[in-house]
Amino acid sequence: MKPSPGRQHNRATPTVDSVIIQRNQVEVNLEDELTAKISKVFLSDKFYRKPLNFQLRYLCNSVTPRSLCWEGSSHDILLRNIEIYLRNHLVDEAWEAYTDFKKLYGLPDDHLLSRFITELSYAREPKWLQRACDIIFLLPKKKSNVLHFDQLYSLSLSLARAQMPIPASMILRMMIEKDNIPPTNLLGPLMLHMVKKEIGTYLASNILIQICDLLQHSRSNWCTRKPDTTIFNLVLDSCSRYNLSFKAQQIIELMSLMGLVGDAYTIITIARIHAVIGQRNELKKFKICVDQVAGYLGHHYFPFYDSLMNLHFKFNDIDSVSKLIFDMISLSGTQKGPHKAFLIPLGSPNLKKGLKLQVLPHLLHENSLVQIERNEGFVTRKNKRLVFTNKTLAKLIVGYKRANRISELSKVLCRIQGNGWDEMHIYGLSADVIHACIHMGWLETAHDILDDMEQAGNLPNTDLYASLLTAYFESNKHKEGESLLKQIKKMGITLSDETRKATVSSKRSDLVKCLIQEMKKGDINCSVYEFNSSIYFFMKAEMIDDALKTYKCMQRMNIYPNVATYMYMMMGYSSLKMYRDITILWGDIKRGFDAGNLLMNIDLYEVLILNFLKGGYFETIMEVIVCMKKDEIYADKWLYKSEFLKLHKDLYKKLKFPNARTEAQSRRAEHVKAFRKWAGID
């Protein structure tokens, strides 16, 4: 039977499906051929592991494959499209094809999905990095085997480089929870990028604590997997830069627990941290070991002495400032001694429970990531020697003057000058101080120092007498001027007419500028630092009653507690599980903040929430969270979620509110539910 024309036509004409498949095959062949040619000319596997992202659609006349609406063919075609785009690194097109496929069929197979996430991880634009995270966070548990260590690490590093620390930390924590802790050589670069921002530093600190906690509870040999001193130094330095001082204290104690040995950079960073929160006694413990090497490493350790000098001024202790200057003089030029390790107590040295940190003060790595130059400007270096600055000298002069102890100031100046340590001063240290006092109008002070110098056998320059005499007459203090003139004649000093008629120079020296700035600041109230030091000691010793008495004494004397005060109080209460007392302290914190006497920070908020989680005070937790939102302070929900699951995993999980036995239980259940929702647990 002769076939009908219709059937013959259908047999000869290809289907729409076959046409598109053929066209796709032609396009694939063409793209493969072009890629191969370009690779031979420009690329070498030896130097470049990954094909370049050439936009091949501009080099050929191929038509972008279109998604089809019927399931039988569109499934394979969409998958093929994704593969083509991924092979040629066309991220936009691959995303469109992936989105179409996901709408119709869900997630692609594990291999293709893994390739897609990897491709997004190498993209430079933050939106693609974020989309890679979105895919990973939405993966069901059965698909978790798609995620491999290399893949997650590459994405986390790319996010950190792009200054996206929050998603970077989330990916890194996913790895850590699977016991895939990056080794030091990989963790270091990631942390280096994380700590470039304040939020990144805060998260990097929490992650470092999380890693060490997991390693300590691990059955495997964690000593070979622990982060090294360089990583700790990097995080500590960033904590000091962003004033995350109490987070830094946790990390310092963690170094001791992990058995790490601190180096010169560790000591410098710890000094900066103690200087910020006023822990002078803690910093003094390090001075013994630093003094051993400062003679030949003083040009590296000047930030340490700068921090200690800063603390002496905070405590208004000018005697300790003078002593430190004398110590620095005696250290200059001392020879190298034996290299040895020191054990520095953390907390009170008399406590049996106290930790100790081992340090090697002579150990100084050339390629350290810690910034040495950052300091307060009290101590600097010159010709590899420790040198105090005019800022220090100005604060010292003002301190002695306010205490009416000018004769002691003169002795300090004589002793410094006698050791040849006034090389920074043009006319000599004493002469510069007297000139500065005259310029400030402190004529009696200048006169007293002149007399003291004369009695000590250090005859001042004739110009100093002339300058002071001129200043007396210009200030209409003729009686004092005549008295000085008699004194000058008695000493056998002859002043020319030009000298007597000279006026006091209006040119300000650097010392004068520093004196003017210091006088603008007014008197220093060091009471809060002294009280905090006592509270810190009592809480470390678990002497809670004494700490509470000290705290109440502050309130009676109208000395406003600061963040350090409350942190020390909570530290003591928490160690004895006195969480209810922390709720009372929270009331004081709110009143201080509302009155404008307290500046809240991320450290204080975190300690509050963690302690209230331990105590089960969920209503108070939600109150703290509201305050954090108002202050626009970042909350590490991952940390709080982990702590909740550790302590209260099934708390009110299945309880229905109508089944609550009491009204209080019902309210508590509502607060727990609100926290679970906020932390992303449910």
pLDDT score recorded for residue 289: 94
Alpha helices for 278-317 (secondary structure H): 280-291, 294-314
Instruction: Determine the pLDDT at residue 503.
Output: 56
β-pair partners for 357: 344
At residue 44, the pLDDT reads 33
pTM of the model: 0.84
pLDDT for residue 425? 59
The CATH number corresponding to 526-679 among 1.25.40, 2.60.120, 2.40.10, 2.60.40 equals 1.25.40
Q: Which secondary-structure segment (H or E) carries 147? A: none
Q: Residue 27: what pLDDT?
A: 43
Sheet (strand 342-346) strand order: 261-262, 355-359, 342-346
Burial (0-12, 13-18, 19+ Cβ within 10 Å), 544: middle
Beta-bridged to residue 411, according to DSSP, are: none
Lookup result for tokens 């000098």:
309
Q: What is the mean pLDDT of each run of 10 residues along the chain (682 residues)?
A: 39 39 44 39 32 38 45 78 92 94 90 92 92 90 79 95 96 92 94 96 97 86 86 95 95 95 95 95 95 90 96 96 94 75 83 83 81 86 88 96 96 84 66 93 96 84 87 92 89 70 65 94 87 93 94 94 96 94 96 93 96 96 96 96 90 58 83 93 81
Q: How far apart are CA 464 and CA 457, in angstroms?
A: 16
Place of tokens 């002579």: 362
pLDDT for 423 equals 56
pLDDT per residue over 138-176, tens digit each?
887 767 777 889 999 999 999 999 999 999 999 999 999
| Location of each CATH 1.25.40 domain in the chain | 526-679
pLDDT at position 489: 87
Contact 529, 280 (CB under 8 A): yes
